Amino acid sequence: MLDRLKAVAPDPILGIIAAHAADPNPNKIDLGIGVYRDAEGNTPILDCVLQAERILDSTQTSKSYLGPRGVPGFNSAMRELIFGAESAVLRDDRVRTVQTPGGTGGLRIAADLVKTARPDAKVWASDPTWANHLAIFPAAGLELLNYPYFDRERSDLRFDAMMTALAERGPDDVVLFHACCHNPCGVSPGPDQWDAITDLAAERGFLPLVDLAYQGFERGIEEDCRSVRLFAEKCPEVIVASSCSKNFGVYRERVGAISVACGTAQKAADVETVIHSVTRKNYSMPPAHGTGIVDIILHSGELTALWRREVAGMRDRINGLRKTLVERIAAAGIERDFSFLQRQSGMFSFLGLSVDQVRRLREDYSIYTVDSARVNIASFNDGNLDYFIDALKTVL
Ligand code: LMR
């Protein structure tokens, strides 16, 4: 049976990890995968996570199955964090949140849910979007198309073109949005633009599916959910796939959720049963460790306050790096304008390099990015900035 299988190339983002790890150059830089790094280049365990993990270790009494819902306190805390404790959808009990293995798990369950509800639905993603979006929806048997989003010339949003394209979408369509910190381009709609997008969703009746992978990394924990909350106010249905990988730094624990807001509490309860049947077919029962940690943090006033400070610290460091990068590139006499880096947010931006320039960075300097020249801004630090800027100057 398996003789027919041929080796496939590694996922472009994951392939970078292996290539960087195998490179003996002491000056090598990994600008590939989206993990936060501190000033020393490490991806630390957050203090709030360390403390919660100790509590979990000393209080957990069983490793028996959790059941399809997972950790109930995690689900309710996530729901409040995303939609707002005072929101009408929560007050009316119209949201169901179910933990998933990472945000990717949430996306795949969302895809299966849509496929179950409407097998011929089309999913529309921004051009460009996270590379794995391109794989997840077709893997669930859904057609994936794109709408205009990023203008490579201006390094900015193609807002008018996006609105024109979305004005043609309707009830058979699912439109995928990045709530904040767009991956890969770092460009988000502004508040007025979100107002217009969410109005359009209500008017046209397409289903918004929001990928919330970087809550807290753009403007703030509440601010970064503004689009979700507007969709939930204006539209009868919205799905959110959220991740705790970055904002709790629990990447390998695989902590995420799918949240579905519906028109009525009964519909939400019905949809939850479908989610449970879909998760049962995928992985039967969810993991407990990471969601247990987040549950403890979000139910402790002290740990929540610490977590909020730690998220703000990561956000401020990335924003500071964006500013430093722009200043240092200009100071190095590089004529090309990189000031767009400071107008963008989150871990990622495109540097606007050709595939050949990306290859030269890799081969001549051991600086690793994906071919699109998407870089993880958090990978820069005092120890590697000069080396990077010298290399950039040479390949430009
Ligand atoms: C990224 O885009 O680098 C992250 O979201 C990690 C991943 O799984 O691709």
Task: Tell me the mean pLDDT per 10 residues along the chain, length 396.
Answer: 93 89 96 95 97 97 94 97 97 98 98 98 98 97 98 96 98 98 98 98 98 98 97 98 98 98 98 98 96 98 98 98 97 96 96 96 96 96 96 96
Ligand 1 proximity of 129 Cβ (cutoff 6 Å): no
Ligand 1, atom nearest to 130 Cα = 2
Alpha carbons 259 and 216: distance in angstroms, whole number: 18
Q: Is 137 helix (H, G, I), strand (E, B) or coil?
A: helix
> Is 246 a known active-site residue?
yes
Please tell me if the CB atom of residue 35 comes closer than 6 angstroms to any atom of ligand 1. no
Residues 6+ apart with CB under 8 A from 341: 186, 322, 325, 326, 349, 377
pTM: 0.96
Provide the pLDDT for residue 12.
84
End-to-end CA distance of the chain: 49
Tell me the CA–centroid distance for residue 35 and ligand 1, in Å: 8
* pLDDT in the model for residue 9: 86
Report the pLDDT value the prediction gives residue 350, as an integer from 0 to 100: 97
> Cβ(97) to ligand 1 under 6 A?
no
Specify the pLDDT at position 324: 97
Distance in angstroms (rounded) separating the CA atoms of residues 127 and 161? 11
- Supply angle C-alpha 74, 76, 77, rounded to 5: 65
Residue 10: per-residue pLDDT? 83
Could you tell me if the CB of 103 is within 6 A of ligand 1? no
pLDDT at position 23, please?
A: 96
CA 297, 303, 307, 310 torsion-angle sign:
negative
